[in-house]
């Protein structure tokens, strides 16, 4: 009897497990359906067809999964949501873009990296320079956009925008959002300290820092916590000022990197307390609290300067701000250069189904349409590789950014963009080690070099 009972229990358990297995099946089906269904019919119904077809064949709606970081509080979120909504309305029944919201940048990167590695690249995603764009382009997992770009779409992008990111003349990953890094400074604080101009040289800059400190202000915000973003940008500016436009030609062997480390370390004497463990939130918080004189971040931050929430006594922060270029370094090779990066690439997974490929390209073209990009730039303050006519409503600060970009003698990437990902991963540890005296300037550069070598 006991044996019989044991057998019965075992059978129940086995069936139970089997039932668990079956339950997964329905969940998988819908995901497969869009990919399979069009494979038979859609070949005849390429790019233009979807707009007409919906009423007859609603079941064949193509779903484009788009995990996006341009959501939540991101400055592009509102207009991006509107763009997607409009696109879905215009293509109702034929194409549907489903945005998977992810508001945390690092979590987003981790998710995208994992899904690509496991062989299931999302239909569309956003990459940045922490991804190995060349390796991803060569992986065969992304759609070759070259034929579409050659049909005229490519002409809407800035000249040479694809050069650095193409592989053997083929563009798989599209540089979309650009960024430049001029310095924004609080004119009210400058006036209080007794400065009527932005320092033109780094010597002058440190004199300003001393004056700011004497008056109880932080000259600038630094952070070695998280990804040490602010310090990374400052380091990039100093590196450019010292090493000039060819500073990356010899990797980290250029003496500019050691010299720049010395300057960066000194800057930590003129920032707020606790900068070693600080994050971007701390840097931004100090800037918004008007106790920091100079702010360094990308153009996407311009929108925050105009937010009523950040106004004090009804005065917008932007009203007390001006924009300046990187000071010159005595004896440095920098000469009117500008630190830039590709803040966002658009990448589409390679599709077996031509109809889905056409749908994805259609959405990409919609997204990068100059009129839409102009609106996106206006609403967010961000800058793009697409050629567009800036709106007359563009903010003063954004106009100054554009002016600086147009007047730059040359551009160099920020250090995170110029070196492999291992550099940016190690950078926070190297900065804190430098500032806390664990390593000297050469040791700082050696830490970064070792990280790159280990990953090679």
Partner 1 sequence: MKLERSDRGPLWAFLGPAIILMLVFFVIPVIYVAVVSLMKWNGISAPEFRAVRNYLLLFKDKAFQRSVINNVIWALVAGFIQVPLAMVMAIILSRKPKGWKFFRTVYFFPQVISGIALATLWRAVYNAETGLLNGLLKAFGQGALAKDWLGTLQTAFPAVLIYWVFYIGYYMVIMMADITTIDESYYEAATIDGATDFQQAIHITIPLIRRTSLLTCVTLASVMGLRQFEQVYMLTNGGPANSTSTIVLYMYKKLQDTNYGMASASAVILILVGIVFIVCIRKLFEGRGEGAAPRKRRAVK
Q: Which residues bind partner 1 (CB under 8 A)?
A: 3, 6-7, 9-11, 13-14, 17, 109-110, 113, 116-117, 130, 132, 135-136, 138-139, 141, 224-226, 272-278, 420-422, 425, 428-430, 432-433, 436, 438-439, 450-451, 454-455
Nearer Cβ to partner 1 (85/438): 438
Nearest-angstrom CA–CA distance, 112 and 100: 12
User: CA-CA distance, 213 to 193, in Å (whole number)?
Assistant: 9
Q: How far is the CB of 220 from partner 1 (least distance, A)?
A: 16
Are residues 90 and 376 in contact, defined by beta-carbon separation less than 8 angstroms? no
Do the beta carbons of residue 58 and residue 93 sit within 8 Å?
A: yes
For partner 1, the closer of residues 82 and 279 by Cβ is 279
- Let me know: does 344 contact 127? Beta carbons within 8 Å: yes
How far is the C-alpha of 394 from the C-alpha of 406, rounded, in Å? 16
Closer CB to partner 1, residue 341 or residue 368? Answer: 341
Say whether 186 sits in a helix, a strand or coil.
strand
Shortest distance (Å) from residue 246 CB to partner 1: 26
Q: Report, in Å, the least distance between residue 431 CB and partner 1.
A: 9
- Residue 275 beta carbon to partner 1: minimum distance, rounded to whole angstroms: 7
By the 8 A CB rule, do 395 and 166 touch?
no
| Cα 398–Cα 401–Cα 405 angle in degrees, nearest 5 | 140
The residue written with tokens 């009897």 in the block is: 1
Nearer to partner 1, 13 or 315 (CB): 13
Strand-by-strand arrangement of the 218-220 sheet = 218-220, 292-296, 183-186, 321-324
Q: 99 has which bridge partners?
A: 66
Distance, CA of 233 to CA of 210 (rounded, Å): 21
Nearest distance, CB of residue 113 and partner 1, angstroms:
7
CB of 349 to partner 1, least distance (A): 13
Alpha-carbon gap, residue 261 to 242, rounded angstroms: 11
Nearest distance, CB of residue 228 and partner 1, angstroms: 9
Structure tokens at 406: 């147009």
Closest to partner 1 by CB, 116 vs 355, is: 116
**Which residue number, 135 or 158, has a Cβ lying nearer to partner 1?**
135
Smaller CB separation from partner 1, 6 or 158: 6
């Amino acid at each position: 009897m006991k044996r019989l009972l044991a057998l019965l229990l075992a059978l129940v358990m086995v069936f139970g497990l089997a039932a668990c297995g079956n339950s997964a099946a329905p969940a998988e089906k819908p995901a497969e359906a869009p990919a399979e269904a069009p494979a038979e019919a859609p070949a005849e119904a390429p790019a233009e067809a979807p707009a007409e077809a919906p009423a007859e064949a609603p079941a064949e709606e193509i779903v484009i999964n788009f995990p996006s970081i341009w959501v939540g509080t991101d400055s592009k979120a509102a207009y991006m949501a509107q763009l997607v909504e409009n696109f879905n309305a215009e293509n109702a029944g034929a194409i549907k873009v489903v945005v998977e919201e992810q508001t945390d940048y690092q979590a987003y990167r981790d998710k995208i990296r994992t899904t690509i590695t496991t062989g299931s690249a999302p239909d569309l995603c956003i990459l940045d320079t922490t991804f190995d764009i060349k390796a991803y382009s060569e992986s065969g997992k992304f759609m070759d956009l070259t034929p579409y770009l050659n049909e005229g779409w490519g002409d809407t992008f800035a000249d040479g925008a694809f050069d650095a990111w193409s592989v053997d003349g083929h563009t798989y990953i599209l540089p979309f959002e650009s960024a430049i890094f001029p310095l924004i400074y609080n004119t009210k604080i400058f006036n209080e300290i007794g400065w009527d101009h932005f320092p033109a040289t780094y010597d002058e800059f440190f004199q300003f820092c001393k004056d700011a400190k004497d008056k109880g202000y932080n000259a600038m915000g630094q952070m070695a916590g998280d990804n040490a973003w602010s310090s990374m940008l400052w380091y990039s500016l100093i590196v450019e000022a010292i090493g000039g436009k060819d500073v990356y030609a010899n990797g980290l062997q250029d003496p500019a990197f050691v010299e720049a480390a010395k300057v960066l370390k000194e800057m930590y004497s003129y920032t707020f307390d606790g900068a070693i463990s600080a994050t971007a939130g701390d840097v931004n918080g100090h800037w918004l609290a008007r106790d920091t004189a100079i702010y360094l971040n990308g153009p996407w931050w311009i929108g925050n300067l105009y937010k009523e929430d950040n106004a004090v006594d009804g005065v917008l922060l932007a009203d007390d701000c001006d924009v300046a270029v990187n000071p010159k370094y005595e004896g440095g090779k920098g000469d009117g250069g500008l630190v830039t990066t590709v803040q966002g690439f658009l990448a589409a997974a390679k599709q077996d189904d031509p109809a889905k490929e056409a749908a994805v390209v259609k959405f990409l073209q919609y997204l990068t349409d100059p009129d839409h990009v102009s609106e996106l730039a206006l609403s967010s303050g961000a800058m793009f590789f697409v050629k567009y006519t800036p709106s007359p409503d563009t903010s003063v600060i954004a106009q100054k950014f554009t002016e600086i970009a147009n007047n730059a003698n040359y551009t160099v990437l920020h250090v995170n963009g110029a070196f492999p990902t291992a550099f940016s991963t190690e950078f926070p540890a190297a900065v804190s080690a430098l500032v806390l005296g664990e390593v000297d300037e050469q040791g700082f550069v050696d830490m970064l070099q070792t990280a790159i070598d280990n990953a090679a």
